[in-house]
Amino acid sequence: MELYCPQRTSQRIILHLDMDSFYASVEMQDRPEIRGKPVVIGADPKNGKGRGVVSTCSYEARAFGIRSAMPISQAYILCPQAIFLPPDISRYIQVSAEVIAILRSYGFVLQQVSIDEAFLDVSRLGSFTAARELSVTIKKTILARLGLSCSIGAGPGKVVAKIASDFNKPDGLTVVEPDDVKAFLAPLPVRKIPGIGKKSESELFELGIRTIGDLAAYDIQALVARFGQGAVCLHDIALGIDTSEVEERDGIKSLSRETTFDTDTSDPQVISVTMDTLAEDVHRSLVAENLRCKTLTVKVRYQGFVTKTKARTLSHFTDDGRIIKSCAHTLLLELTDGKKIRLLGFRLSSFDKGVTRQTTLPCDQTQNRFS
Ligand code: TTP
Ligand code: MG
């Protein structure tokens, strides 16, 4: 996820909404018989031998220690009696659009940042009390119309709002008023700052920085010397300075799928059929999103984890499944030379702005990130 780099402007009230265990909740809403049970969305566990990953799981499954991006085989060990379901991305896109339509109906500037989260700039409400009331209304409306729960965070900036929405999940509502921002952030681990991943976290640990409070107290010059100018943004965020705007912008950047083979393979037939399935799946999402694309990328992870990608940009936008499939196979040919393959991925990007809707997808059926 991107780091929201602050610019200094006036005080605002920002809401961040994030749906709870989104894919799993949609499935539980659609199938009453699995409600209240541990539900895992992701690759086929194949009695513990499956090699893909967990997309997400219900909070009942989280009680067993299951988490997004965990190997599905590990999820199976933790809770073999869980209900394992494959992702139905088209259905989730549809529900996502319904959530966004509800949010839009309140008439505030809205920025959708993934399939299940969005920022709203509600500054014109004028008070955090009014923002809390609106948040309660939004939560009730989404629950009544879609049967789904969400968590909302409110704060004077996007980062605080996002951290706040995650603070008390599921079904949370956390309002952080300007005077409370520093105290709210200080005890939280630095990892809670959007954009800080494992690597940055361990680099900060090396400096003895574990909490956002530690980061706020650290000498800015020393941080810049170590991490470059990007550290200024980070330090500002830790100090609660964050005035980046909620931007209505084309959310969708790419659509992709990837799959891990049960066993590494160099069988051209297996690889080709898998490429077909991936291309068909991504094409279905493209059509569901009413988009046309220009850039196609194939990704191959070989045995031993070396990963390569090949991309092609077409001269015209297309939503033609045959063109997409044929291009996918041409790119695949450039990447296959008899070596065994562990994972195959396919991505569409460079969408036609004319028809682009406000949607961003976590890009994968088995993994969230195409990297
Ligand atoms: P998240 O909002 O990160 O997770 P979530 O909605 O399932 O659960 P939470 O209550 O903690 O918000 O992601 C939204 C959806 O994106 C999620 O339902 C499935 C998908 N996703 C993946 O496919 N792979 C991943 O690694 C992650 C994190 C999410
Ligand atoms: Mg969510």
Mean pLDDT, range 195-209, rounded to an integer? 89
| Ligand 1, CB cutoff 6 Å, lining residues | 18-23, 55-56, 68-69, 115-116, 169-170, 362, 364, 368
At position 245, the amino acid (one-letter code) is: E
Domain extent for 177:
14-21+92-238
Q: What local confidence, expressed as pLDDT, does residue 236 receive?
A: 94
Best mutation site among 1, 17, 22 for ligand 1, i.e. most ligand atoms within 8 A of its Cβ?
22
Q: Verify that 220 and 306 share a domain, yes or no.
A: no
> Do residues 168 and 214 share a domain?
yes
- What confidence score (pLDDT) does residue 364 get? 31
Q: What is the pLDDT of residues 179-193, one digit of tens each?
A: 999 999 999 999 999
Q: What is the residue with the minimal CA distance to atom 15 of ligand 1?
A: 22
Q: How high is the pLDDT of residue 251?
A: 61
Structural domain ending residue among the three candidates 238, 267, 290: 238
Residue type, 241: I
Q: Please name every residue paired with 153 in a beta bridge, in sequence order, or none if there are none.
A: 16, 174
Sheet strand arrangement including 14-19: 109-114, 117-121, 14-19, 150-155, 173-175
Point out the catalytic residue in the list 117, 133, 258, 280: 117
Let me know whether 101 and 124 are in one domain: yes
Last residue in a domain, options 74, 89, 104: 89
Domains of the chain: total:
3
Whole-number Cα distances in Å, 181 to 63, 135, 159, 160: 30, 19, 11, 7
Q: Are residues 137 and 104 in the same domain?
A: yes
Tokens of 77: 């060990």
> CB–CB of 43/27 below 8 Å?
no
Greater pLDDT, 234 or 198 = 234
pLDDT band at 1 (very low <50, low <70, confident <90, very high): very low
Last residue of a domain, one of 178, 213, 238: 238
**Mean pLDDT score, 225-249:** 89
Q: Which residues of 204-235 are buried (b: 16+ CB within 10 A; e: fewer)?
A: beeeebebbbbbbebeeeebeeebeeebbbbb
Judged by its nearest atom, the ligand closest to the C-alpha of residue 61 is 1
Return residues with CB closer than 5 A to ligand 2 (ion): 18-19, 22, 116
Is 117 designated active site? yes
